[in-house]
A and B are shown apart, each in its own frame.
Chain A
Amino acid sequence: MINKKVSGPKEALQGLKDGMTLMVGGFGLCGIPENAIQEMVEMGVSGLTCISNNAGVDDFGLGLLLDKKQIKTMISSYVGENAEFERQMLSGELEVILTPQGTLAEKCRAAQAGIPAFYTPAGYGTEVAEGKESREFNGKMYLMEEAYKADFAIVKAWKGDEAGNLIFKGTARNFNPCMAGAGKITVAEVEELVPAGTLDPNQIHTPGIFVQRIYQGEKFEKRIEQLTTRKRD
């Protein structure tokens, strides 16, 4: 067993420098690496390019990095929940590259899988297609999209072991398995880190080979963005 365990986010993020490109897992505030984001705020790294489906809210998630102006470019599919984000985008301080959600996921997965580019119908005939090669297959038009290149991929899982194997919970899985192994270094933050041999190999979602550094997060707030319930009859 190759032991991937590190002491915490500080050690896990060693080598993260200004101007680097990061993939950050999560959908909204669901399944985000909360402790690693807090650590990046404390590190004060800046000029970052972040590939993440969303950009957090004003005081949580990637919103914390935006608030400190640590992000230069944001690559996302939907960014509507954040007032400081809007301000920086409108003033031109922040570059935003909007990407269809399925394309964003596949550009991560392709990077993980060593596939440099792929064709997708999403965005054909729209402004997303500008500057991209298009091609017809079986009578339908497709766009060529290239895999992302990232220095770090930072993912969050429910359980993990010292070998880096990961298990996710519910819809907190989302982009995390697509990003694991898609950056030069993959950091996994887990709610519960157990010794190798504890998790059933049949139940692993992301094999440890895709993870270089793993730690148990100290604290998880798991904020709910849109609490929606129904009354009991």
Chain B
Amino acid sequence: MALDKNGIAKRIAQEVKDGYFVNLGIGIPTLVANFVREDISVEFQSENGVLGMGPFPFEGEEDADLINAGKQTITTLDGASFFDSATSFSMIRGQHVDLTILGAMEVAENGDIANWKIPGKLVKGMGGAMDLVASAENIIVAMMHTNKRGESKLLKRCSLPLTGVGCVKKIVTNLAVLEVTETGFKLLERAPGVSVEDIQNATEGHLIVEGDIPLMKI
């Protein structure tokens, strides 16, 4: 059975290692924080200027001066810090943040990503996404394998305006875990109950299948 959004987040949480500073995008990536192992030390950065982000506040304890990049009210954990936007992007551009997890509309087999603009539809802006994808060493995309019309989001070439070029390293979808390699999408794991054929059918870009493909351990 294909994963739901929480399932994708749960699988990505396994990529978060002890000592990592992590930036989470809006949507599925935000859910990842709920599934990170409790016996490791991880700090979440939000690009509006906080490191050491905690859970949402209890009702009545919200502070208008304390939000995340999605403009939601948050809390901080011990060891947290606040900083200005230029410093925040120094952490990102300077590769001090170890892992960036974000959503996408399309990913191409060469690692290009499109996630900010659909021509003809209202454009809201790229926010910090272009800075994040151009800078991070380690980018994981969290998304559904196909769009609402059932079309593949893993393509030979992106059709939408790009957010960044050749930057995505790993993709976790409702069907599979894939690595972006020089020759295409290498299939690493499949979701429970999902066959290699199912993944092949949902992938427009070049899919590399070598040997037996293990199931995700969730």
Complex Cα spacing A27 to B82, Å: 14
B166 CB contacts on chain A under 8 angstroms: 125
A168 CB contacts on chain B under 8 angstroms: 82, 84
Complex Cα spacing A106 to B112, Å: 25
Q: Is the CB of A122 within 8 A of B130?
A: yes
Q: Is the CB of A170 within 8 A of B66?
A: yes
Question: Would you give the shortest CB distance from A175 to chain B, in whole angstroms?
Answer: 5
Question: Would you give the shortest CB distance from A183 to chain B, in whole angstroms?
Answer: 16
Question: Would you give the shortest CB distance from A93 to chain B, in whole angstroms?
Answer: 15
Q: Is the CB of B127 within 8 A of A77?
A: yes
- Encode A61-101 as 1/0 by CB contact (under 8 A) with B: 00000000000000011111000001001100000001011
Q: Interface size class for chain B?
A: 35 or more
A12 within 8 A of B: no
Q: Assess A175 versus B85: contact at CB under 8 Å? Given A28-B67, A224-B73.
A: yes
Complex Cα spacing A168 to B85, Å: 13
Q: Assess A230 versus B63: contact at CB under 8 Å? Given A122-B134, A171-B48.
A: no
B92 CB contacts on chain A under 8 angstroms: 102
Q: Is the CB of A76 within 8 A of B125?
A: yes
Q: Is the CB of A169 within 8 A of B67?
A: no
Complex Cα spacing A27 to B88, Å: 13
A126 CB contacts on chain B under 8 angstroms: 130, 161-165
Complex Cα spacing A224 to B71, Å: 8
A100 CB contacts on chain B under 8 angstroms: 126, 128-131
A232 CB contacts on chain B under 8 angstroms: 58-59
A123 within 8 A of B: yes
B122 within 8 A of A: yes
Q: List 26 A-B contacts (CB under 8 A).
A: A30-B64, A30-B65, A30-B67, A53-B85, A79-B124, A90-B122, A101-B128, A102-B131, A102-B135, A105-B84, A120-B134, A126-B162, A126-B164, A170-B65, A171-B48, A174-B49, A177-B86, A226-B70, A226-B71, A227-B72, A228-B56, A228-B62, A229-B62, A230-B58, A231-B58, A232-B58
Give the interface of B toward A (CB within 8 A): 46-50, 55-74, 82-86, 88-89, 92-93, 112, 122-131, 134-135, 161-166
